[in-house]
Each structure stands twice: as structure tokens, then as C-alpha cells.
Amino acid sequence: MPKPSYILGLNTYDHDVSACLLRNGALAYAIEKERITREKHATGFYKEVIDYVLDAEGITLDDVDLVVSNCYILPVPEMEDRLIYQDMPGFLPEYERQDASVHPLFRARTGKVKTISHHLAHAYSAFAVCPFEEGAIMIVDGVGSYRSDVMETYPDGEPGSKLARESESYYTFKGTQLDCLKKVWMEPDRGFLSDEFYNMPGLGALYSRASTYVFGDWNKCGELMGLAPYGRRDQVKPLMDITDNVLSVPRWTPEYNQPYIADSDGKWDTHPSMRHWEDIAWRVQDDAEKVLLARARWLRETTGAKNLCIAGGVALNCVANGRIAREAGFENVWIQPAAGDNGIAIGCAYYGLLEVQKQPRSYVMTHSYTGRAYTDRDVEAATQRTLVKAQTSAVRSDNICRDTARLLADQKVIGWFQGRSEYGPRALGNRSIIADPRRPEMKDILNSRVKHRQPFRPFAPIVLAERAREIFEGDQDSPFMLIAAPVRPEWREKIPAIVHIDGTARIQTVTEDTNPVLYRLLKEFDALTGVPVLLNTSFNVKGEPIVETPRDAMACFINTGIDHLILHDTLVSKTSAHRFVAPLVRTYVDIAGLVSASTR
């Protein structure tokens, strides 16, 4: 057999460091650093993610033919040169400097290593693995590359200095050919040192500014979207406007004088500014939907395309995506499941395949299960550790879907661990916490016992694909939980735990081809209850990444109110000793964590 060809794609240094490995043009493995280090949105050096994908494939870096990387801050070679002489712990902490200094890819200057600009990588992540031969592409995010660093040819008509940064990019594609139609630039703004992003006049930047204003964190845009339906219509004047396809974002004024201050007295949930924050959330979400829908309609009218691909961080806005799918006029809409900067690694790898190596497109991303496979031996090792055995029992099942469906129907909360982990921010049924959606109080049970997140945030449904149109309005498939749709009125009282306050739900449609085990579980639950829907949320607690390994899953199970853990076909339950042993283990882990942090 001929030796496989390998391409490695990397998103480097800032949030969501990640790697993607292609084998003969197909996506073999992809992983985010946070899943390995257990630090959400992990930044820094990329050694862990490279080691992960290479080890999973059983190869070394010498077997890789091409490496393509991106860092939206600066081109990677320039970024790495700066890291040599500048202390930037947010991008290269002291404890990673030694690994970086000896790594063969750090400051590499060979033909095997290339760097590309940010929206170009997003564009390749969108179209290179989509199911369409031709179509249009929509890239919208917080901030991309400097105009001076953009690699692709783009129209000269849009105003912008060389220090302006990408905000939106629009393309067409046919086969492997990519053409840029339009770029929207954001000029740098005056402000406090390194905070220009928060005041830049772009759609994604504005959404992050509102997220910072309401939550004290620029990266809580999903929470802002969830809060929006609680706001009152038009209580806040428009924060952006689009006229004749020109976007204007007025500067904020001192009338927005109620930012959340993290160190202030009182809890966020009971803050006296809550009504104001809800109104801000409604306004920025409504403005974003109007702008995105206007852009999508312009793209449809300009290109005549039937198919649309979407990526960039704003593409995680499932409410806006639902409106684009239903109202923009495209026949088909496909959204990259890792639409944020984790997807940059995919785009880099496929740029290498299509543009550098001039290979044809041959792979369609029908699922996002791209982690390594864990064996039954790995599961056994996780269940047989001394402190685990002291407080749990583990039993193999001859029909794990049937047994789990019965537990779910009995109102048990289940940690569900199967197959390869999902790539991107959504748990899609391999690293999930699942529950019965028929009880409205299940949402509060999950929040109080497991998730500990804000009560306004909705939980999502997973549904048999062939039954989705019976329960939800619209006819768009949503395999990656990236489209919100109204729940049909006759079903809202049947599955209240997944219905948001505005009557919508963020849907994941499941087919037997893409996830046969999850599909069988839904069929078993439907046979017991007449409901082909389960409540699905990510297998983690607030502030932590989704679990990756059986040991991660076991730790989350033991330290939360999850009733049972399913690891492949093993059913793990807590024994009566758990209530005594678990507090001792938590104390030990806390102390060990403090010791580890102090010795870094």
C-alpha cells in the first residue's frame, strides 16, 4: 500500500488552540487544546494538540507532508518572533516556553510550514468539507487579520487602511476555486491599551462588546443570545444599522452606564440592572439578525447561488442561522460545526490540500466526531481506580440503549459517553448529559445538581431526523445543533424542558448513519414514551470544557448530581458509600490542584 499523505492544520496562540490532521484528504482527527488541558478556550503553545492527533494516528511529525497554521493576531512567523523577546503570558505562558523553544515547528522556516490569513482559513473550513459543488460563503466573526496580512485577492472598493481588520468576508466557490466578493473592514480605535477590539465598528465586535457589558466577558455571546428573548422590544435604540448594504455602528455613549462589574457586591442573577441587560440583549440580537439576514439576501441576489456555507464565530448564533435558513432564499444552508476559531485548524488543513497541493475535494463533513477512540480497556481503567470503586458500581449491559432509555423514562439524569469526541462547542451525543424533556422542572434539576448555570439559558433537544418536522417548524436539517426553530404548539407541553421562553429550540437532528448508538437510544425512548426527543446538554459543569476521556467523564459524574454514567456499554452507578467518600476525594483533588499550580 502507498504511504498515506498527511496535512496538519493549526489554530495557534489565542483562544481555542486546536489541530486537525488530514489523511489522504479526509479529516482523520481534530482536537481542541481545552479538552486536553481542561482549561476552557485554552490559549498558548500547540504541542498538546499536535501530539494528540499524531498519537491517535500512530505517526510522528516526520510523517506529515505539510503544516498550515493561522493566528488572527499576526501571521504565525511574526507572532513567534515577538514571543521570543516579549513576555506575553496570555499567548505563551512561562511554563510552555521550554516546550516551544525546542519544538520543530516553532519559528520553522521551511517549505513544509505555511501560514494563512484568518477569514481565508474560515472560508476553507466552510466550503472545503460542505456537501455542495458550488455556492456562496458568509464569514462573520469578531475580528480577523489585518488588511496588510490578508492573502486572498479581494475587491479594492471597500474603504480601509492597512491596519483595518477583517470583520465580514463573502465569497463564491465552485469545486476548489474560491473567489472573494466583498470584505467589510474595521478600523482600529482609540482606547485603553489593547482594548481596541471592544470599540471596533463591526457586527461581531459589537456583539462581544454587549457580552462584556452584560456578563463581564467578551466570550459569553451564546449566553447573550439566550437572554435576548427576556428583553423588551425597542426599549434600547438600535446599536447598528444596515442601509444599502452599508453597515453603520454608532459609538456607545455614557447612557450605557450599567456594565456588570465582576468584583461588585451581589450576584449577577439578582442584580438591579437585570432588566436593562435583558433589553440590551434583545436589541443587539435583533440588530444582528437584521444585519445578517440583509447580508445573506444580498449574497443570494448578487450570486444567484442556491447553496450557502457559513463560518466564523457569529455563525454560532443559532437564532440568526434559523432565520437565514428560512428567509434568505437559499435552498440549502450548511454551517461549519466548529464555526469559531477551533474551525480554523480545519480550514488551514484544507487550504493545504486544495490550494497548496492542488488536490480535488473528496471529503464531506457529515459529522463532527473527530476525537480519538477510547477502548473498553480505557473504560475499565477509569472504573477500577481505587477511589472510584469505593463509591461506584460498574455493570456491563447487553443492551445499553434499552437500559438507558428505561432510566431516562424514570427521570434519571444520565452522563452519556460514546465513541469519538465532538469537535466544536456543541455536545452532539457522544459527550452529553441527557434527560427526559417531558418534565418542565428537569431544566431546574439539571441546573441545581449538575450544570450550575444561569436559569434563563435553555437546554437543547436531540430528535430523530425523520420525526423532526412533526415536532419543529421548518424543513432544514440541523445535525450540528446550529439552527433554532419554533417548537410546534401541539408539542410544547409535551417536551417543556427544551422549549425556550420564545417557543423555540436549538435542534440536533440525528440519523442512523451519523450516530447509530444515539439513534437507537432515541428509538428506545420513543418506544417507551411516544416521544422521539431527549434533552441534551454538554457533559461538563459550568466553567469547564466538555469531557474528553473516560476519566474526565468519571470525575464529572462523581462530583455532580448525575444519577448514572454510561461508558460505552458499561452502566456506572453511585453506591451508598458515595456520600461519604466523594467529599474526601474532592478535598484531596483541591489540595493536589493547589500544589500543582504552585509548582508550575
Residues 75, 196, single domain; the answer is no
List Cβ neighbours of 395 (8 Å cut-off, separation of 6 or more). 570, 571, 573
**Is residue 245, in this structure, part of any structural domain at all?**
yes
Cell output for 146: 489585518
**Is residue 124, in this structure, part of any structural domain at all?**
no
Residues 112, 154, single domain; the answer is no
Residues 11, 108, single domain; the answer is yes
**Is residue 368, in this structure, part of any structural domain at all?**
no
Task: Identify the H or E element spanning 334.
Answer: strand 332-335
The CATH number of the domain holding residue 330 is: 3.30.420.40
- Strand intervals (E) in 76-201: 113-115, 134-140, 165-174, 177-186
User: Does residue 592 carry a pLDDT above 60?
Assistant: no
Residues 187, 219, single domain; the answer is yes
SS3 at position 404: helix
Across 29-45, average pLDDT: 97
Give the whole-angstrom CA distance, residue 400 versus residue 376.
14
Residues 327, 351, single domain; the answer is no
**Is residue 591, in this structure, part of any structural domain at all?**
no
Task: Identify the H or E element spanning 101.
Answer: helix 94-102
The CATH number of the domain holding residue 501 is: 3.90.870.20
**Is residue 363, in this structure, part of any structural domain at all?**
no
Exposure of 258 by Cβ count < 10 A (0-12 exposed, 13-18 middle, 19+ buried)?
Answer: middle
Across 472-476, average pLDDT: 91
Percent of the chain with pLDDT over 70: 97
Sheet harboring 533-538: ordered strands across? 392-396, 570-574, 564-567, 414-417, 431-435, 533-538, 460-464, 504-510, 483-486
CA distances in angstroms from 394 to 120, 524, 569, listed in the order given: 48, 22, 10
Position 262 confidence tier, pLDDT thresholds 50, 70, 90? confident
SS3 at position 113: strand
The letter for the amino acid at 130 is C
**Is residue 599, in this structure, part of any structural domain at all?**
no
Structure letter (DSSP) for residue 537: E
pLDDT of residue 249: 94
- Which of 459, 414, 409 lies closest to 434, judged by CA? 414
Query: How many structural domains compose the chain?
Result: 3
Residues 301, 431, single domain; the answer is no
Among all chains, which residue has been given the C-alpha cell 487602511?
161
Instruction: Assess contact for 213 and 223: CB atoms under 8 A.
Output: no
Lowest mean pLDDT among 119-128, 329-338, 453-462: 453-462
Q: Could you list the residue range(s) of the whole structural domain that residue 30 is in? A: 6-118+344-356
Give the whole-angstrom CA distance, residue 48 versus residue 149.
27
Compare 589 and 498 and report the one with higher pLDDT. 498
Position 591 confidence tier, pLDDT thresholds 50, 70, 90? very low
Across 441-447, average pLDDT: 94
Q: What is the mean pLDDT of the chain?
A: 94
**Is residue 366, in this structure, part of any structural domain at all?**
no
Position 590 confidence tier, pLDDT thresholds 50, 70, 90? low
Residues 471, 539, single domain; the answer is yes
CA distances in angstroms from 136 to 123, 158, 303, 310, 428, listed in the order given: 10, 19, 7, 9, 26
Residues 56, 198, single domain; the answer is no
Residues 282, 319, single domain; the answer is yes
Across 24-40, average pLDDT: 98
Residues 433, 556, single domain; the answer is yes
pLDDT of residue 594: 47
Across 383-411, average pLDDT: 95
pLDDT of residue 1: 80
**Is residue 123, in this structure, part of any structural domain at all?**
no
SS3 at position 381: helix
CA distances in angstroms from 453 to 21, 209, 543, listed in the order given: 34, 21, 9
Position 494 confidence tier, pLDDT thresholds 50, 70, 90? very high
Structure letter (DSSP) for residue 390: T
Residues 280, 351, single domain; the answer is no
Residues 145, 218, single domain; the answer is yes
CA distances in angstroms from 12 to 18, 149, 237, listed in the order given: 7, 16, 38
